[in-house]
Structures are given as C-alpha cells and as structure tokens.
Amino acid sequence: MRYKDNNGRLFKSETPTGLVMELYKTSWQKDNCRNATEWLKGCADRIHEQYDIEIDFNSATTFVNELKRIKLIEEIH
C-alpha cells in the first residue's frame, strides 16, 4: 500500500507496523526518543498540542487508523 502524509511525502508499506517504522525513520523527532514506542507517544502528544485532538497510539494499527481519521495520512492508489 502507498500513503501520502499531510506534507505530501510518500510512503510504501504492506502493514501498519511497517508504515509506523517508515514514519519513525523519516522523523526528525526520533532523535529525542529511545525507540518507536516512545516516538508514538511523542507524536500523540504533539498532535494534541498542535490540533487539540487526542489519538490512540496503543498499537501500530490503531495509530495509523487515527492518523487517517484526522487526515494526517491517507492511503493512495
């Protein structure tokens, strides 16, 4: 599957976990995190600060679905 974020960057992944890892690898915020799990929490916190929206980040699938729901990432064909 292919995805596009709200900045127009393209990502390719077959699973939500793979997409989270792609997002993690390209994030400048990963430098402040020890691992992807910590990064997910940081993303959720930043989304809350910027958009006043709370998202669930308990799993890669949930996190990706939340990003889709709030239009920060979309699946493209």
CB 73 within 8 A of CB 10: no
pLDDT tens, residue order, the chain (77 aa): 999 999 999 999 999 999 999 999 888 777 778 888 899 999 999 999 999 999 999 999 999 999 999 999 999 98
Where exactly are the structural domains of the chain? 2-76
Q: Tell me what pLDDT residue 17 has.
A: 95
Q: Tell me what pLDDT residue 34 has.
A: 85
Q: Tell me what pLDDT residue 18 has.
A: 96
Give me the DSSP letters along 12-72: E-SSHHHHHHHHHHH-GGGGG-SSHHHHHHHHHHHHHHHHS-----SSHHHHHHHHHHTTS
